[in-house]
Amino acid sequence: MDLIQAAWMIRDLGQPVSALDLEEDSVIAGGWDGALRKWNGDGDLMWKAQCSDRIESILRIEDLVVVTSGLHISCLKDGEILWSEALEGSADLLAFHDGEIVATSSVYDIEHGDFMESAIWRFSLEGDLLNVERMDERPWFLDSKDKLLLGLGRPKCGILVDGEHQNLPTDSPVTCGLYGRENVLFGHANGVITSLKGEIISEESSSIESITCVEKGFVAALESGELVAKTPDSKPIWKASGKQVTTQVAGFDDMHWCGRWNSSNGVVEVRDSKGELIVTAKTTRPRVSDYSENRIGFGFEDGQILVWEKGLFSRRIDQEKGEENSRKSALAAKLRSLRN
């Protein structure tokens, strides 16, 4: 099956895609040079806007779209920028908590080769700065489905839970996180995966780059390029090796999708719930991905945005299986005729 031809929607942002937000009725994409576009559920362009710099994060709050763009946090409605405020250093992560917009920023010191200072900013929906809290640690994970959680780097490491610091079972920096159905997982630089409950869930061979949720548990992408799928109690499901994983997402009856990059070529891989490879496609560098109930989207270095729809994708898979069975039947018939 040609994975690219099976896509339900293909659009071009005109610059490398740096952020993607996918819902059932729309797609919002942000670019490396600040382009922001929104398409409706039929793939029609609804609006476009130009922000100050690279779009890092996209947050929807009803009819508002909030983005971190370079040094700024900006709020838009129907493509119009309502307000924009400069932060200190790069504007990074976003969340909406207790009626407030929460953003993080970080300052990178080139001479030391590390992040020297970070801050947590709180804004009202109207753009009023309510509070700013500065700290030495850079947050690498932010979410607020229930409590406001931040996973921290050096020197303190651990997490902030509604503003209170909490240690984790390892003192290694948090590199990523996952707010799952029943637990919150944190990936660490030393390859350990811990939970909000204070447990060590898994110990892997290299740093955890990202974690995504699947029906039976989770899939961790390691710095080495290995994908490791495990149950919540750390029982192995499957493993897959390869080049660097740049992005991963799960959906479509527990299929796992990942993008890889080897410094010159990209690839998108689709696996079933057992880790068996279903289909691959050569691409430019896959940068970001997202999912909704019936759609999966990827954004690429060349500006392409591909969205697959569950029904169409399933039909193409079934069609491919049917054609393969027909080829096998035809070959078997030829073999029988040769024997006769």
- Segment 5-28 shows an average pLDDT of 97
Q: Note the pTM of the prediction, 2 decimals.
A: 0.92
Sign of CA dihedral 67, 69, 72, 78: negative
* Residue linked to tokens 């409590």: 147
Name the residue among 178, 304, 265 with its Cα closest to residue 230.
178
| Residue 115 binned pLDDT confidence (cut-offs 50, 70, 90) | confident
- Whether 230 and 211 have beta carbons less than 8 Å apart is answered as no
Q: What is the DSSP string of 136-166?
A: SSPEEEEE-SSS-EEEE-TTT-SEEETTEEE
pLDDT at 12: 97
Using the predicted structure, report yes or no on whether residue 113 has a pLDDT greater than 90: no
Express each pLDDT in 246-303 by its tens digit.
Answer: 999 999 989 999 999 999 999 999 999 999 999 999 999 999 999 999 999 999 999 9
- Whether 17 and 287 have beta carbons less than 8 Å apart is answered as yes
Q: Where are the domains of the chain?
A: 1-46+243-340
Name the residue among 76, 70, 65, 87 with its Cα closest to residue 18.
70
